[in-house]
Structure 1
């Protein structure tokens, strides 16, 4: 508010004026004021006319850009609601900064997703041609993968555009394009030369179906409480897990024995020792002696090691270093050999003697049978355990020692911990700091090689002197020729004598994506973009990839560029369905963003699932579950909601929560919110046109005395909303911002203020009408600009339709610091609204409608409400509202009474309506008794000792909602009974 003095054009007085700060530059290309708005909001019609980038973009006023990189979606399929959440969060932030006059750069990208893509392409290849990748060879398979990429990248791009993402599309990157390949190659070579990458035999997660190492994120741990059958690819019958088998090892030089327990009998063929706890007196006499392996016919030692849990099983643990992570470490401490008994295909190796060649789970029964024949079995029992499953293939993961490439992480991880502890790197929500410290302080070296055909081939070469006796030397280089030159220098040999073979493995997808923040700007070249846009302003992503992606970006970014790739991390939760269940193909509850945006019949949803099955993305079992899930969740299909309603719904939840429940019904409600704003815009356009015909509205100034109390209240609430939205966006509390926007636009503006203007607007040449026009336009203009980051398409469409004052232009800035707050006026109106709500409640209870010409008498000792009589009348839809100072002034005949604060309310109720309520009272009493019994039953159930343990979270929520509903119904009946007894 500016303190200016000028002759008011409305009443010719020299008075203080308000300059409504919503008029600034705007391009004429968006001038659609002459166009009429349709009768109602139809999402697809508005989105088809989207203006795209360029409307809400004021001139750049800041020399510090706001930069983001979109977490690259995998090309394994189409986007899901998790991607929609990520995209919306980032787009809201980008648009908010852009509307503040800050240069923004938001880089799109797509990830090649090595293992996942190879799996789906192989499925398609088999489904279409009954071929494997080995049938067509590596080069042709890569061509198929590139075809898949082109198809999916196009679809993903279309989805992102439909979500309204204002990305810099000309900067789009793909993690296997030439720019990224150069960065990956350079990063590997630098890390190798710095001795941070090395090659060694280590245990890795291995999928026998994929014949490749897989990352931890691709391993799902299935919890089994006892004997459980699990289907394993390639096996006709399910394999049993959840059983502990005990057997005896005989001492080599006596008849004594030591009993051990195992969950995987087939792995005992690779046992190289038995370990006991050093303080376990039961086995102290065995330490240092040797046991006889019944199948390999060789002695294995008994060792002592404090890792052994004396309380588990027999207190003696078999050591199989080649197939167990813990045993691998024990073997290193005790100098034990590694004996691999399962190969990369899942068959037993030659080291297994007579068992050689058997499939691993077929060998299980054979081994137990042989142990039983030898009299060595000592029983079986149920056993709870975690079974590692490959999420890509459904295979049971093996731990195999294979020659792999590893990144030394300890030193880099220590720096990443210090950066957070010392405040150089901020994580939001802050409780994830504990998780960050725990993981990085216990980090293991990172296996970055994969035995795949799709991905960045490792830029490392095995070099040896032809015919020489020296060993192999591994060289990291840009090409075979460069490797030969380096090897020749290091081996002091002629280049012509060096044999060079490139490693066939590819790099882990997370390695290339970890370079994204700087590879996107041309690193390793010191480009202008790199200097200007790196480090990023923020890294925003889901908390589930905090380690797999974010931590690795931090480690590699600091190591390779000398800078943190960003100084702030914002983590959002996992999208679940309305019942709080994670969305998954196995549950059939996955919702596609485009189905919410466009709407989809049940038949269309089923057809979409069938198309995914035909493409090899869904299995037959997953298809069946998906179709059943859709019938249950969406029996009538999904209604069209539009992208703006979807975005607003996603942002209406606290994205920092661990889980975010998405309900399509909530999304549809927000579509009606869009229509509410649409109708408000039509109202403002109509009345502005009418009033401008009756008086001159050329000046963007207004006498404060020409504003009614409700005008001032609306501007005050507008100012509060703008402050709240800015605070919410600054703190990444998007749900606070959306709540403030909806509360103002839907309730304060549309439901309250707009209704109070109709009386004044009916006299177009009055000062009140002019004040209403100014206020209506200010609220709508500023409200749309504040809403624009969340609902860009709707806001652009409506904002460019707003009427203009002659000679003035609209602002496209994000609003801030209006300074129109008047808390005194707000308190007065809050009191008025309490009275209005009470009158409406009385009318509803006694069925008083407009045909009864309702009358209300208000008694207020301070006569404070006298200034709001007409407002109360308009908002409560009453024929007459009389405000009195004393009760004696009120005719009490045929009235019912209620009170709010210091105001007594008397509603005139016709005799026929009162009699109807009285006749209904006995029925109400019976209903109350029934509700009380039901409520007592529910409360008794939830107070039971085992309720919290046995009832699922979904069931608990249903029961809570039921209790709330019962209490509301009882409260209503009691209220009616109380009023009727007056």
Structure 2
């Protein structure tokens, strides 16, 4: 017995049950299959620190659309799921949870702390996976990975050892970004810059010989405690004679040299720059060139270290205020000016980052960056939109060595050991048993862990089994498309590119599809501080996952931000209801003998029209998806389903269905064929409702998920009949509009007298016009002339409606006069444009011809309006 649909579509009664049906059927699982082409997407692994937000919802929806589409196209489609350990963020969450219990990380100890971190991971990983399932994500959950699982950890260790052996990983003392709150180093990509109001303090640095002073301008006077020189440009005539002399460092009362360095900009500030090698990356490089001392004045939490008198123990801002006051009191402060500048903040906690010299582990980036640049320049990988490759190039061409060590416990431990006896460092997969230098047998492992992005950089191949040579790695790598937001190009995309090229010899994906951010209805970025975040799970609970997904896809264009609107979600829900109600009509009128989609032998003109429209839809939606124009594809689906299928074709079939017999069955067959085909096209966007309807309609596959994707069929291209039928539709629409303008109720019938050279088509479709244009009768002739009639004009026909059957003659004349005035205005505009010699000379010939054709049509319409006015007088 055929399945019946409930009267009202309720996502809560459908979505969880349907998702379980997919899981039970194993439809998400992909295997190595030599008979199929692979298509692979790796999920940007969500962190185990929180829950699904609207950015995740967009990202996962776009990926799911692509993977479902390719699965239906017959690819062995793998969507590799997994989660990220999110080192700094997770450790901060666990520390905060411990604090609520009155515990500390240090008091618990490393081993016990890591046990708590793994408990956190198990709890919150399960939560975010369940949320992804609520969205409908068709990931291969049988292959779910975690950046710290055994396989990924093995890959991380292998990469570290390989890069170390090649000399691409080293340990050294360099300037790094330090977060005083998280108490760890950060990579350049983990620092976010915000423009903030500050000050430029102009300070007098006296010459040691008493002959005068140099004026130094700085935004950070507190760092002057660590100054070891001032620098001027070697070509600056103002200071050439002073190079090599010494200055007295104010408040510290020690001598520091004046050095010449091209780093200094002569026309910025005073042309004199204080050099603090321990607390500024550029100063650090100047210090190396001039062999300057490196003096670290800050503790790990950004307080002034011991040994600095009254300033010791002060935090940065307190020390700044005290030092400025003392400079002013000592006569060293020359002036203060307002100044806005970019300030680096930790991307996790928002704390102002402190540049700091520290001994850390680094990856040499220059040898790795070049192949990654070449891969995009040579077309091995492309960005969509293409404009984002400029950001990619800029980042890689200006990249500094990557600081990969973190001073936290949660993460991959660095595989380096130090001999307790002599301090010898040994990098190895396992702890050494004997020191090659002194023969000692006691070792301590490096306490640091690796940057989170070090492991996620390997995600496209570590998840497939690398460094082992697995069948999955051979079959599914390189992956196909990476879908991600533009905000993590530096964090993740760049690192996956150079890692894939270095360790696999191939770029990890051929396409990077960049999407924008989901902003609120006012265009603001969603944030906790603004309180404008939208929980996708609440939206799903109220409107259903399909409505949210459809809203996120609608209007989406690669690389551009979009605005979330609950009104748009409601409109998407209404669209789902429209499809549901249309299907219920089909099912309620469906003959039992129709058990599968298939077309009848005889097709009416309206059948040929809808089949041509559907066939073109198949081609256009597929083309849009091939070009990653998901927003365009979904808009075309919406227009076809709502307008063509529901508002027109279903209405057109009602008379035939009511008549019964063969004509009813033929209409039913076309309805089922078009509806099932359209559901396939819609399925990647709205998977739940399409599956539920699919199971109720006659179909040829156990799940719409694995039903074959529709293909364009030249045999269904009835272009001539499509044009003919749309001439009839144009008349129906025009008559409806005219009746509405004249406030004629639908119940009031009026005869239609149609003058057209397409007589056979209009006669064939007279029944449609009677029913859909509220006509009492339809008369078709090559020429018509009815005195006192309302006239409706289309490109293919002139329709006369007896005035006395409709409305007041004077009102209609007034309306025609207004239409005449509007037409005159348009004609004048086009005539003026074509009379412009510059336009005619410079515009392409086809543009000029198109304008002339428009003018000719307007003139023809104007003549018909004049005829209509004359006929009524």
Q: Please, what TM-score do these two structures have when normalized by structure 1?
A: 0.78
Structure-2 separation of matches of 1:979 and 1:775:
44
Find the counterpart in structure 1 of residue 782 from structure 2.
885
Task: Tell me how many residue pairs correspond in the alignment.
Answer: 814
Q: CA deviation at 1:557?
A: 2.1
- Of residues 141-150 and 435-444 in structure 1, the stretch that sits farther from structure 2 once superposed is 141-150
1:118 and 2:61 correspond = no
Change (3 A) 1:682 1:336: same
Which residue does 1:30 correspond to in 2?
none
* Partner residue, 2:600: 702
Query: 1:547 & 1:699 partners in 2: Cα distance?
Result: 49
- 2:685 aligns to what SS in structure 1? coil
Query: Which position in structure 2 is the counterpart of 1:52?
Result: 22
Counterparts of 2:189 and 2:727, CA distance in 1: 56
Structure 1 distance, partners of 2:441, 2:391, is: 48
For the residue of structure 1 that corresponds to 2:590, the secondary structure is: helix
2:828 aligned partner? none
RMSD value over aligned CA atoms? 3.0
Give, in whole Å, the separation in 2 of the partners of 1:910 and 1:134.
94
1:800 is paired with a residue whose SS is helix
**1:585 deviation in Å?**
1.4
Partners in 2 of 1:699 and 1:129 — Cα distance?
A: 63
Residue 82 of structure 1 pairs with residue 49 of structure 2: no
2:798 matches 1:904: yes
Q: Does the residue aligned with 2:171 lie in a helix, a strand or coil? A: strand
Conserved 8 A contact 1:452-1:506: yes
- 1:919 CA drift (Å): 15
Pairwise CA distance, 1:577: 2.1
Distance change (3 Å), C-alpha of 1:41 and 1:857:
farther
- Are the structure 2 counterparts of residues 523 and 979 from structure 1 closer, same or farther at C-alpha, using a change threshold of 3 Å? farther
Rounded to whole Å, the distance in 1 between the matches of 2:390 and 2:606 is 50
Distance 1:857 1:811, change over 3 A: farther
Greater CA drift, 558-567 or 417-426: 558-567
Shift of 1:318: 1.0
Residue among 3, 6, 9 paired with 1:41: 9
1:168-179 mapped onto 2 (5 Å cutoff)? 168-179=140-151
Instruction: State the match for 2:525 in structure 1.
Output: 582
Contact 2:597–2:676 (CA under 8 A) maintained in structure 1: no
Distance 1:215 1:849, change over 3 A: farther
Distance 1:675-1:349 versus aligned 2 partners, 3 A rule: same
Which runs of structure 2 are paired with 1:144-543 in the superposition (5 Å)? 144-224=116-196, 226=197, 242-350=198-306, 352-463=308-419, 466=421, 472-480=423-431, 482=432, 484-485=433-434, 487-488=435-436, 491=437, 493-494=438-439, 497-543=440-486
Corresponding position: 1:876 with 2:781: no
Q: Distance in 2 between matches of 1:811 and 1:770?
A: 28
Partner of 1:833: 729
Counterpart selection for 2:615 from 719, 739, 746: 719
Judged with a 3 Å threshold, the aligned counterparts in structure 2 of structure 1 residues 36 and 133 are, in CA distance, closer, same or farther, namely same
Using the TM superposition, give the Cα deviation of residue 150 of structure 1 relative to its aligned residue in structure 2, in angstroms.
Answer: 1.8
Task: Report the Cα distance in structure 2 between the residues aligned to 1:810 and 1:373, rounded to whole angstroms.
Answer: 77
The verdict on how the C-alpha distance between 1:335 and 1:886 changes in structure 2, with shifts beyond 3 A counting, is same
Q: Which residue number in structure 1 is paired with residue 657 of structure 2?
A: 761
C-alpha displacement of 1:221:
1.8
Q: 1:133 aligns with which of 105, 110, 115?
A: 105
Segment of structure 1 superposing worse, 68-77 or 42-51? 42-51
Distance 1:740 1:185 in 2: 49
Deviations 1:283-321 (A, max 9, x none): 233222111112332211112222222232222111111
Cα distance in 2 between the residues matched to 1:189 and 1:840: 76
Residue among 644, 650, 669 paired with 2:546: 644
**Quick one: distance in 2 between partners of 1:911 and 1:718?**
38
- 1:141, 1:500 → 2: CA distance? 22
- 1:801-854 Cα distance to aligned partner (Å, 9 max, x none): 11369xxx9992111132212222222233333322222222222221233234
What SS is found at the alignment partner of 1:384? strand
Per the TM alignment, residue 915 of structure 1 is displaced from its structure 2 partner at its CA by 9.3
Partner of 2:673: 778
Shift of the alpha carbon at 1:375? 1.0
Whole-angstrom distance in 2 between the partners of 1:429 and 1:648: 22
Shift of 1:121: 2.4
Shift of 1:55: 9.1
- The question of whether the paired residues in 1 share the 8 Å contact of 2:164 and 2:170 is answered with yes
TM-score for both structures, normalised by structure 2: 0.88
- How much does 1:906 deviate? 4.0
Residue 756 of structure 1 contacts residue 874 of structure 1 at CA under 8 Å; is this kept in 2? no
**Equivalent position of 1:865 in the other structure:** 762
Q: Which residue matches 1:965?
A: none
Question: SS of the residue aligned with 2:237?
Answer: coil
CA distance in 1, matches of 2:595, 2:473: 51
Alignment CA distance shift 1:773-1:509 (3 Å): same
Q: Aligned pair in 2 of structure 1 residues 760, 697: CA closer, same or farther (>3 Å)?
A: farther
Cα displacement (A) at 1:403: 0.9
| 2:742 and 2:807 in contact (8 A); partners too | yes
Matched ranges for 1:94-105 at <5 A: 94-105=67-78
Contact 1:56 1:813 in 2 (8 A): no
Report the Cα offset of residue 157 of structure 1.
Answer: 1.2
Residue 701 of structure 1 and its aligned partner are, at CA, apart by 5.9
Cα displacement (A) at 1:354: 4.2
| Match 2:686 to one of 774, 784, 791 | 791
Aligned mates of 1:663, 1:899 — CA distance in 2: 40
**2:556 is aligned with 1:659:** no
Out of 613, 630, 633, the residue aligned to residue 737 of structure 1 is 633
**CA drift at 1:503:** 1.0
Unaligned 5+ segments in structure 1 are: 1-32, 227-241, 600-639, 925-974
Query: Which runs of structure 2 are paired with 1:559-574 in the superposition (5 Å)?
Result: 559-574=502-517
2-side partners of 1:686 and 1:879: how far apart? 29
How far the C-alpha of 1:920 sits from its partner, in A, is: 12
**Equivalent residues of 2:36, 2:74 under 8 A apart:** no
- Are the counterparts in 1 of residues 598 and 673 from structure 2 also a CA contact under 8 Å? no
Whether the aligned pair in 2 keeps the contact of 1:55 and 1:812 (CA below 8 Å) is no
Provide the C-alpha distance between the structure 2 equivalents of 1:209 and 1:908, rounded to a whole number of angstroms.
83
Q: Does the 8 Å contact 1:188/1:476 carry over to 2?
A: no
Q: Aligned to 2:765, what secondary structure does the other structure show?
A: helix
Which of 575, 579, 590 in structure 2 is aligned with 1:673? 575
What is the distance in 2 between the residues matched to 1:197 and 1:149? Answer: 29
In structure 1, C-alpha distance between the alignment counterparts of 2:302 and 2:810, rounded to whole Å = 80
Distance 1:412 1:256, change over 3 A: same
Aligned partners of 2:729 and 2:278: how far apart in 1?
Answer: 74
Question: What SS does structure 2 have at the residue aligned with 1:850?
Answer: coil
Distance 1:534 1:861, change over 3 A: closer
TM-superposition CA deviations, 1:136-181 (whole Å, max 9, x none):
3333332332222222111111111111111111211111122222
SS of 1:455 mapped into structure 2? coil
Distance 1:41 1:292 in 2: 81
Shift of 1:279: 2.8
- The 1-side partners of 2:37 and 2:262 are apart by 56
Q: Mean Cα displacement is larger for which, 207-216 or 386-395?
A: 386-395
Instruction: Out of 866-875 and 791-800, give the one that drifted further.
Output: 866-875
1:617-628 equivalence runs, <5 A: none
For 1:70 and 1:793, how far apart are their aligned partners in 2? 21
Q: CA deviation at 1:194?
A: 1.4
Structure 2: gaps of 5 or more residues: 819-864
Q: Tell me the CA shift for residue 538 of structure 1.
A: 2.6
Write the distance in 1 (CA, Å) between the matches of 2:60 and 2:362.
Answer: 33
- Indicate conservation of the 8 Å contact 1:898/1:906, yes or no: yes
User: Equivalences for 1:901-940 in 2 at 5 Å?
Assistant: 901-907=795-801, 914=808
Contact 1:839/1:907 (<8 A) preserved: no
Instruction: Name whichever of 331-340 and 52-61 sits farther off.
Output: 52-61
Q: 1:908 to 1:508 in 2, by over 3 A?
A: farther
